[in-house]
Amino acid sequence: MSLFSNPRSIAGVSVSLLLCLPACGGEEPGKQGGSEAPVTQEDLQPQTQLTERPPVVVLGVDGLTWNVMEPLFAQGKLPNLKKLTDAGIAGNLFTDRPTFSPMLWTSIATGVKVPDHGIRYFMEIGENNKPVPGGLPYTSNSRKVPAVWNLAGENGRSVNSVAWWVSWPAEQVPNGRIVASYAAQAQAALLWKPLIMEEGLPELTYPDQLADSISDLLYDGRPTGPLMAEYNERFGITPQEWKFAFLRDRFFRGVFHADRTHEKIFMQLMEGGEIADLNLLYFGLPDVAGHYFWRYRAPQNYTYLVPDDHVKRLGDRIDRSYEQMDAWIGEVVAALPKNAIVMIVSDHGMDVANADDVTNVQSGGHDLAPPGVMILSGPGVKALGLQQRGDRTLGSIYDVTPTLLSLLGLASGSYMEGNPLRDLMTEEWKATNPALEPMDYREGFRKATRPRLPMDNANDLFLESMSALGYVTSGEEEIQKKIDGK
Ligand SMILES: [Zn+2]
């Protein structure tokens, strides 16, 4: 059928032997068949060396949701996201419950469910499904299976990854440049603490010396740095006497500083044509905007009164966050080579929450797991635009990693919950990129260990920030209810 089907051809054998040093040992059982033999990843290796494979860029945007995006599309306010949508295919991404970021973003990056990747909440949950007393926030060493950056790097693809959830300590990824995140949405509280800013967070990057080349950008991200003016220009200033809103504004600023800094770091990694085969960047802003500001955007949906002047000042906060995202995404896309494939993915959608609870920090939420957003755009992707409501699901969060592997010319994991979304690709693409036999990548992956601390009290800082954002509830019973998905 294709030239991959006969692995015994002289060219194929010699090239794959060369590529096998030093990883493979002897005959591979999958290579015995004739022309009907399934295509394995090894069969494909010679071809991937010959063709220019498009770089893949994944922009993970927490809480991005169509019910905010579509009105903004109609108003022409998200030109970059709209362009990606129109040139490619876009729709819903099914998610899972409970919808806590560390769990979902790890599922997105591994293709497996929570019990299989082991990141079970913000901080440690025991095998009995109860919070571990004094448990620490999960860190990358607690993950039980390889993430897509491990898989890509270990299989000869280069990787840039910036700020993904639960990615601290930065893992040693061959061909990889990793800028880790310990605290994600709470990153600002940690990164720009006076001592940390001077000394740097340990193991923030892989390789180590990458930390030096991003230190100026980290410094610029500090609360009183140049981003302050950038924030004020985009969002305005919240009067101090609006206590509740003012406090929220402070945290929201922190998330802006973290996202903007990560975006700049990502841009720097790609400078000079150094785009990797797989490039990942995480943003948290739309999720935090949704949690904090929904009541001002849609006050009619709440049983309590939202003051008019607050509505006037903060009612467009969510929209402005989306416009900010769109501007950053535009910057990234403009720096990409023409042949890049871009995937925008959110872990869940969002909607009104706690409509009768005026004291709740969060007036927008996602406990009921509304579907997230997926946009895929680039060469080989079907140009069908935004799919119609009701028939809009492109796949699930578990399909993201299998799909990325497939775009990188790598086999899916046999143990993964999802599958490569090959139907989003054109017939032509499918013909030149045959389906690969899934493999078990778990063998030889390091053992998961208890979470680590980047510095003294980092866990307290993390939990404080997370509860100020309304992400983490205190009290064992509340936590129990949440992790049980009730
Ligand atoms: Zn959220």
Cα-to-centroid distance, 175 and ligand 1 (Å): 32
Cα-to-centroid distance, 238 and ligand 1 (Å): 22
Are 199 and 309 in the same domain?
yes
Q: Which of 51, 68, 83 is the last residue of a domain?
A: 51
Cα-to-centroid distance, 349 and ligand 1 (Å): 9
Cα-to-centroid distance, 264 and ligand 1 (Å): 23
Cα-to-centroid distance, 159 and ligand 1 (Å): 27
Cα-to-centroid distance, 144 and ligand 1 (Å): 24
Is residue 100 pLDDT above 80, yes or no?
Answer: yes
Cα-to-centroid distance, 289 and ligand 1 (Å): 9
Cα-to-centroid distance, 350 and ligand 1 (Å): 8
Q: What is the average per-residue pLDDT within 327-356?
A: 97
Confidence of residue 482 (pLDDT cuts 50, 70, 90): confident
Cα-to-centroid distance, 280 and ligand 1 (Å): 20
The pLDDT value recorded for residue 28 is 37
Three-class SS state of 406: helix
The residues placing their C-beta within 5 Å of ligand 1, an ion, are: 287
Q: Are 222 and 308 in contact (CB under 8 A)?
A: no
Cα-to-centroid distance, 64 and ligand 1 (Å): 10
Cα-to-centroid distance, 481 and ligand 1 (Å): 17
Are 200 and 304 in the same domain?
yes
Are 109 and 23 in the same domain?
no
Return the residue matching tokens 């498009």: 54
Cα-to-centroid distance, 82 and ligand 1 (Å): 23
The pLDDT value recorded for residue 50 is 41
Cα-to-centroid distance, 222 and ligand 1 (Å): 24
The pLDDT value recorded for residue 11 is 34
Cα-to-centroid distance, 31 and ligand 1 (Å): 46
Confidence of residue 486 (pLDDT cuts 50, 70, 90): low
Higher pLDDT, 88 or 238: 88
Higher pLDDT, 35 or 163: 163
Are 166 and 214 in the same domain?
yes
Are 42 and 125 in the same domain?
no
Q: Are 152 and 278 in contact (CB under 8 A)?
A: yes
The pLDDT value recorded for residue 243 is 85
Q: Which helix (H) or strand (E) holds 56?
A: strand 56-61
Cα-to-centroid distance, 286 and ligand 1 (Å): 9
Is residue 480 pLDDT above 50, yes or no?
Answer: yes
Q: What is the average per-residue pLDDT within 368-389?
A: 96
Q: Are 332 and 266 in contact (CB under 8 A)?
A: yes
Q: Which of 16, 31, 51 is the last residue of a domain?
A: 51
The pLDDT value recorded for residue 57 is 98
Are 32 and 82 in the same domain?
no
Cα-to-centroid distance, 100 and ligand 1 (Å): 7
Say which CATH number the domain at 423 has: 3.40.720.10
Cα-to-centroid distance, 345 and ligand 1 (Å): 14
The pLDDT value recorded for residue 1 is 30
Q: List the domain range (segments joined by +) for residue 4.
A: 1-51
Q: Which of 21, 36, 51 is the last residue of a domain?
A: 51
Number of domains in the chain: 2
Over the range 413-424, which residues count as b (16 or more CB within 10 Å of their CB) and which as e? beebbbbbbeeb
The pLDDT value recorded for residue 485 is 64
Helices (H) and strands (E) in the chain, counts: 19, 12
Q: Percent of the chain, pLDDT > 70?
A: 89
Cα-to-centroid distance, 344 and ligand 1 (Å): 17
Cα-to-centroid distance, 213 and ligand 1 (Å): 31
Are 23 and 172 in the same domain?
no
In DSSP terms, which residues pair with 160 in a beta bridge? 177, 279
Cα-to-centroid distance, 136 and ligand 1 (Å): 20
Distance (Å, whole) CA 455 – CA 260 = 24
The pLDDT value recorded for residue 274 is 83
Q: What is the average per-residue pLDDT within 132-154?
A: 96
Are 65 and 15 in the same domain?
no
Are 71 and 192 in the same domain?
yes
The pLDDT value recorded for residue 51 is 54
Is residue 444 pLDDT above 80, yes or no?
Answer: yes
Are 236 and 144 in the same domain?
yes
Average per-residue pLDDT for the chain? 88
Q: What is the pLDDT of residues 35-87, one digit of tens each?
A: 344 577 776 654 444 457 999 999 999 999 999 999 999 999 999 999 999 99
Is residue 10 pLDDT above 70, yes or no?
Answer: no
Single-letter residue type at 135: G
Cα-to-centroid distance, 294 and ligand 1 (Å): 12
Cα-to-centroid distance, 99 and ligand 1 (Å): 8
Are 289 and 436 in the same domain?
yes
Cα-to-centroid distance, 291 and ligand 1 (Å): 7
The pLDDT value recorded for residue 471 is 84
Is residue 412 pLDDT above 90, yes or no?
Answer: yes
Higher pLDDT, 478 or 304: 304
Q: What is the average per-residue pLDDT within 210-217?
A: 95
Cα-to-centroid distance, 234 and ligand 1 (Å): 22
Cα-to-centroid distance, 472 and ligand 1 (Å): 10
Higher pLDDT, 468 or 263: 263
Cα-to-centroid distance, 228 and ligand 1 (Å): 24
The pLDDT value recorded for residue 429 is 97
Distance (Å, whole) CA 294 – CA 317 = 9
Cα-to-centroid distance, 347 and ligand 1 (Å): 9
Distance (Å, whole) CA 346 – CA 68 = 13
Distance (Å, whole) CA 274 – CA 370 = 36
Are 89 and 24 in the same domain?
no
Cα-to-centroid distance, 366 and ligand 1 (Å): 7
Q: What is the pLDDT of residues 197-206, one digit of tens each?
A: 888 899 999 9
Is residue 113 pLDDT above 80, yes or no?
Answer: yes
The pLDDT value recorded for residue 30 is 36
Q: What is the average per-residue pLDDT within 202-218?
A: 95
Q: What is the pLDDT of residues 307-316, one digit of tens each?
A: 999 999 999 9
The pLDDT value recorded for residue 474 is 66
Distance (Å, whole) CA 289 – CA 364 = 9
